[in-house]
Amino acid sequence: MGSLQNTLRELRRYPSAMAGILVILGLVVFSAYTVITIPYEQAITLWRGGADIWYKLPKNVPPAWINTFRQKKLPESIILDSAQGQAEKTKEAMSSGQNMINLTYTFDFNADDFPRAMVIYFRPTFDEKSPFVSLTWTTPDGREIRLGDFAVEEGTVFRFEQDERLQRRLKRTIGDYPAQVALLMQPDSDPPTPLKGTYTLNISAVTFEEEADVDAEFIAYGKVYGIAGTDHARRDLKIALMWGAPVALAFGLLAALGTTITTMIIAAFGVWFSGWVDDLIQRVTEVNLMLPLLPILIMVGTFYSRSIWIMLGVTIALGIFGGSIKTYRAIFLQTRESPYIEAAQAYGAGDVRIVMRYLVPRIIPVIIPQLVTLIPTYVFLEASLAVLGLGDPILPTWGKVIQDSLANGALFKGLYYWVLEPAGLLMFTGLGFAMVGFALDRVFNPRLRGL
Amino acid sequence: MAESSLTFDSVPAEKPARGSSTLVRVGKYTLVRGITLFITVVIGVYLTVLIANMGGYVDDIRRGEIQEQVSIRIMNDPALKNLPVEERRKRIAEEVALEERRLGLDQPFLIRSFRFLRNALTLHLGRAQLMTSDSGSRQVRLIILERLPTTLLLFGTSNLLLFFISLSIALGLSRKYGSLMDRVFVALSPTSAAPGWFYGIFLILVFAALLHWLPFGGMVDAPPPKDPLAYLLSVAKHMVLPVAALLLSAIFVSVYSWRTFFLIYSSEDYVEMARAKGLPDRMVERRYILRPTLPTIITSFALTLISLWTGAPIFETIFNWPGLGRTLFQAIGLFDTAVIVGSTVIFAYLLAATVFLLDIIYALVDPRVRIGGSGGRS
């Protein structure tokens, strides 16, 4: 493959092309990593999962790394589950089958802002008589605050802010703030500032059966999460952003390859056979150029199936007789007159052989840049469909994240990360391919060289 | 600026004897192209009908229409007022069946499809199931025609701007080939890989959400200003971001490709010759570079237009622009099939009209058509 090496050497002269190649390689590695670490099935279950999977994550929060650029650090989530051993658990027997279970959650709070909400999920095990718990909150400066006493059933959830008795008590003692603010603030600070230090939450439960037990999970929902943040359904955006890469690459590459190769072969046959074949191809191309691609895809998506593979098929089908047929045709028309074609005819080569072996290879230099520059077009087409709400119903893609964000008013609410992350990735991908494509165009087109 | 450099200084009849035959030729060319394009539209619309009807959706549209008409007629018929509900319902069903037979809904699909084609071509697009026009009509044709001017306003403005701005920049750059500006445009050309709506999101984020300089979307302020001038200004303010987004998405690549194109052409022998004769730069540009390349420029502009048109549904949705594209988007959301099919038909017409318009201009500037050279085909 001497020509390939030559091309690469030529490409090295263009810094943008090298950057583009790095981006593409990076995307390929990233996609491979994604597909290996989060298998298809798992990604889909996670992305389509509801509250049962994602209840631990805060809603609509930006990624955690934005704290690096902030003076006032936003809190991350604190998740302590006694069933996982993240709380100190003691159990002592009392009279007549009663047990006293003590759960102590200790955590440091050092952020400059309050958590979004605080919740305790109770998971008691008992047969008949439900256990009774009392909750106490200890601040770093040693104040003890009673949070509440109540019986817990399977599935009891204690939401600090929504507990009216707690709110009333806090209003009397600390001030009229939501519980997660009142419990973590420095007393008498206005506006409330968090009191940093070590907090303790104590749950003491009394069980009335020999085998009964109580476990509880304490969650203080933060205002930042993970590497990518979360969306309105508390889902970790990381999954969609990661899976968007292989989907975008596959869609872009397959669509570009499918359309370019078929277009090229059709143009070659048209030129070679000329006459009515050529005329027919020309007319079909003209008709096809007038077909509104996006509205047709929209119709297919609405009436039949939104599956990304159906969309891919329709895109390729509508792209076969694309505008580039005219470009290819012009080149083939010149090539057809070359002496070597005549020579091939003279030795008795058949039509198909001449087209496939002598005509088509001549156009490769034109086609490669075209192919590469087409890829981002199709990547963005997929995103466009997704933004219109016609994204694949199952797969998480970048376009679907953008659609979610726009549909939920991310721009109005200032949740910019939600739009910018998928958009940035799309831009990154698009630019990578486009830069390589433009450079290739200059390498392969002698007329453009040096321009 | 660019407009002056685009005047085709020899189109006026320098030789009156030739003038009429030029007109005839251009007319003939235009006619042929018009017919070709019409056939194209027919095929396009027929395909639309086929796609839409494979699930029987067009039939549903028609049936819904009949059902509604018949029910209204019978409900409002004073002679039938006293009939019991059961009786009346039976009557409606009978009439609907009769009407369906009358309209040929029981005929084979092939025959029906041609009837749909005729209806679609004559813009008898049926009634919307859920959507209404601003004046309250359920006619798909009215819904669509009402939105058409706003779409034309937005895309017409941005396309004209795009054409003239990029042409003049490209000419300027080809003159100062290798300058810093030139290199900047070349380096930025890959950014056009992203479509207009994509830049729209960024522009909205910066200028509407962060800086609050310009509105998020829409076409006029919430209570539309009464004063016509204020109204106009309000519309202009709302158009800044969408037009900027469309320009941003297309300008770098079109400047790049036209500049390259001009550079290639400006190294032709006859251009060198003109320079050697000592003709001023502007004249060389106008007569020896721009003139012979104009047909190609127009063809490529037509392709750009088509791609911009096709992107309208999403673009208008992002900017909340009350045009045809957003109507299509809303129709998807409501699953209003009549409107979806109708919009697609209108889009096919719009594309054809765009190309037809450019074809006429093409005929005017292409010497092969004007003088009657060998081929007139694009």
Same domain, A276 and A171: no
B117 and B144 fall within a common domain: no
Co-location of A212 and A178 in the same domain: yes
- Asked if residues B216 and B208 have their Cβ atoms less than 8 Å apart, the reply is yes
What's the pLDDT at B129?
A: 67
Domain with residue B302: its CATH number is 1.10.3720.10
Q: Domain boundary at A161, A187, A221, which? A: A221
Closest chain A residue to the Cα of B303, Cα to Cα: A323
The answer on A380 and A352 residing in a single domain is: yes
Identify residue A152 by its one-letter amino acid code: V
Identify whether A230 is part of a domain. no
Tokens representing B356 are 């037809």
Which pLDDT belongs to residue A33?
92
Which residue in the set A282, A299, A430 is minimally distant from B340, CB to CB? A299
Say which CATH number the domain at A255 has: 1.10.3720
For every residue of chain B, which 3-state class applies, written as one string? CHHHHHCCCCCCCCCHHHHHHHHHHHHHHHHHHHHHHHHHHHHHHHHHHHHHHCCCHHHHHHHHHHHHHHHHHHHHCHHHCCCCHHHHHHHHHHHHHHHHHHCCCCCCHHHHHHHHHHHHHCCCCCECCCCCCCCCCCEHHHHHHHHHHHHHHHHHHHHHHHHHHHHHHHHHHHHCCCCHHHHHHHHHHHHHHCCHHHHHHHHHHHHHHHCCCCCCCCCCCCCCCCCHHHHHHHHHHHHHHHHHHHHHHHHHHHHHHHHHHHHHHCCCHHHHHHHHHCCCHHHHHHHHHHHHHHHHHHHHHHHHHHHHHHCHHHHHHHCCCCCHHHHHHHHHHHCCHHHHHHHHHHHHHHHHHHHHHHHHHHHHHCHHHHHHCCCCCC
What pLDDT is stored for residue A167 in this prediction?
Answer: 85
For the domain that residue A147 is a member of, what is the CATH number?
Answer: 2.60.120
Residue B232 C-alpha, separation from nearest chain A C-alpha, in angstroms: 26
With beta carbons less than 8 A apart as the criterion, state whether B172 and B290 touch.
no
Clarify whether residues A209 and A339 are in a common domain. Answer: no
Query: Closest by alpha carbon to B57, among B317, B340, B277?
Result: B340
Look at residue B342 and tell me if it is in a domain. no
* Same domain as B295, residue B177: yes
Q: Does residue A26 lie within any of the structural domains?
A: yes
What distance in Å separates residue A280's CA from the closest CA in chain B?
13
Which of A191, A221, A251 is where one domain is finished?
A221
User: Are A369 and A284 within one domain?
Assistant: yes
Q: DSSP class of residue A50?
A: -
- Profile chain B (378 residues) by mean pLDDT over runs of 10 residues: 35 46 78 83 81 67 76 77 77 80 71 79 75 76 84 86 87 80 82 84 85 79 80 85 89 84 79 83 80 76 72 83 84 76 81 79 71 46
Structural domain boundaries enclosing B158: 140-335
Q: Name the nearest CA neighbour of B262 among B206, B300, B224.
A: B300
Report the interhelical angle of B16-53 vs B109-121 (nearest 10°).
130
Residue A56 lies in a domain: no
Tell whether A402 is covered by a domain: yes
pLDDT tens digit string along A276-296? 888 888 888 877 877 777 888
A52 domain-assigned: no
A163 and A311 both lie in a single domain? no
Q: Is the pLDDT of residue A298 over 60?
A: yes
Measuring CA to CA, how many Å separate B126 from each of B83, B313, B336, B339?
30, 21, 11, 9
Given B121, B152, B173, the domain boundary residue is B121
Nearest 5 degrees, angle CA A314-CA A316-CA A318?
70
Considering only the beta carbons, identify the residue of A295, A384, A427 that sits closest to B343. Answer: A295
Domain count, chain A: 2
Asked if residues B254 and B166 have their Cβ atoms less than 8 Å apart, the reply is yes
Nearest to A384 among B39, B195, B202 (CB): B195
Residue A125's φ and ψ, nearest 5 degrees, are -120, 125
User: Is the same domain home to B208 and B310?
Assistant: yes
Residues B101 and B216 grouped into a single domain:
no
B335/A388 Cβ within 8 A? no
Q: Which residues of A touch B355 (CB under 8 A)?
A: 290
Indicate the pairing of strand A213-221 with strand A117-125: antiparallel
Residue A435: the pLDDT is 87
Q: Are residues A301 and A343 in the same domain?
A: yes
Considering only alpha carbons, which residue of chain B is nearest residue A426? Answer: B194
> Cβ B344–A419 below 8 Å, yes or no?
no
Q: What is the pTM of this model?
A: 0.80
Query: How do residues A136-178 score in pLDDT, each as one tens digit?
Result: 888 888 888 888 888 888 888 888 888 888 888 888 888 888 8
Query: Chain A residue closest to B53 (CA)?
Result: A303
From B314, B335, B356, the end of a domain falls on B335
C-alpha–C-alpha distance, residues B215 and A306, integer Å? 33
Question: pLDDT value at position A3?
Answer: 66
Is A431 within 8 Å of B351 when comparing Cβ atoms?
no
From the list A390, A414, A438, which residue is nearest B189 (CB)? A438
ipTM, two decimals: 0.77
Element (H, E) at A171: helix A164-173
In a domain, A53, yes or no: no
pLDDT at B5: 36
pLDDT in tens, A374-395: 898 889 888 888 888 888 888 8
Cβ neighbours of B337 in A, within 8 Å: 302-303
Can you tell me the distance from the alpha carbon of A205 to that of A189, in angstroms, rounded to the nearest whole number?
33
Q: What is the chain A residue with the closest CA to B212?
A: A412
**Token pair of A419, please?**
């739009």
Whether B173 and B185 have beta carbons less than 8 Å apart is answered as yes
For chain A, percent of residues with pLDDT exceeding 90: 4
Give the pLDDT score at A338.
Answer: 81
Q: HSE-up of A124 (CA within 13 Å, CB side)?
A: 26
CA distances from B243 to A399, B145, B196, B212 (A): 23, 22, 9, 18
Whether residues B234 and B329 fall in one domain: yes
- Lowest average pLDDT, out of A264-273, A275-284, A398-407, B135-144, goes to B135-144
Cα dist. B1→A365, A384, B297 in Å?
38, 36, 18
B42 and B152 housed in the same domain = no
A220: left (phi over 0), alpha (psi -120 to 50) or beta: beta
For residues A212 and A270, membership in a common domain is answered with: no
Answer yes or no: is pLDDT of A263 > 50.
yes
> Which residue did the predictor score with more confidence, A31 or A302?
A31
Average pLDDT over residues A53-79: 83
Q: Which one of B62, B93, B121 terminates a domain?
A: B121
Do B163 and B275 lie in a common domain? yes
| CB-closest option in A287, A433, A447 to B264 | A447
Identify which of A299, A323, A431 has the shortest CB distance to residue B193: A431
B278 plus B312 within the same structural domain: yes
Tokens of B5: 């450099």
Reported confidence tier of residue A28, pLDDT bands at 50, 70, 90: very high
Question: Same domain for B149 and B89?
Answer: no
Residues in A touching B256 (Cβ below 8 Å) = 438
Which residues in chain B have their CB less than 8 angstroms from residue A303's CB?
A: 51-52, 54-55, 57, 337
Residues B169 and B277 in one domain: yes
Mean pLDDT lowest for which of A25-34, A438-447, B200-209? Answer: A438-447
Co-location of A119 and A175 in the same domain: yes
Chain B nearest-CA distance from A2, in A, is 28
Which range of residues forms the domain containing residue A164? 64-221
Q: Are residues A426 and B194, on separate chains, in Cβ contact within 8 Å? A: yes
Q: Does residue B220 lie within any of the structural domains?
A: yes
How far does the CA of residue A421 sit from the closest CA of chain B (Å)? 12
Pairing of strands A132-138, A117-125: unpaired
Q: Confidence band (pLDDT; 50, 70, 90) for A32?
A: very high
Look up residue A446 and give its DSSP letter.
Answer: T
Contacts of B208 in chain A (CB under 8 A): 411
Predicted confidence (pLDDT) at residue A37 exceeds the cutoff of 80: yes
Give the gap in angstroms from C-alpha B191 to the nearest C-alpha of chain A.
6
pLDDT > 80? residue A133? yes
Q: What is the pLDDT at residue A26?
A: 93
Specify whether the CB–CB gap between A435 and B190 falls below 8 A: yes
Residue of B260, B327, B357 best to disrupt the A interface, most CBs of A under 10 A: B260
What is the distance between the alpha carbons of residues B370 and B27, in angstroms, rounded to a whole number? Answer: 10
Identify whether residues A251 and A371 lie together within a single domain: yes
**Nearest-CA distance A333 → chain B (Å):** 15
With respect to residue B82, please indicate whether it lies within any of the assigned structural domains. Answer: yes
Is residue B371 one of the residues assigned to a domain? no
Do residues A316 and A388 share a domain?
Answer: yes
Structural contact between residues A224 and A75, judged by C-beta atoms closer than 8 angstroms: yes
Does the distance separating the beta carbons of A387 and B313 come in below 8 Å? no
Judgement on whether residues A266 and A209 belong to the same structural domain of the protein: no
Same domain, B73 and B221: no
Q: Residue A151: which H helix or E strand, with range?
A: strand A144-151
Same-domain check for residues B207 and B265: yes
CA distance A395 to A245: 11
Task: Give the per-residue pLDDT at B299.
Answer: 73
Tally of domains in chain B: 2
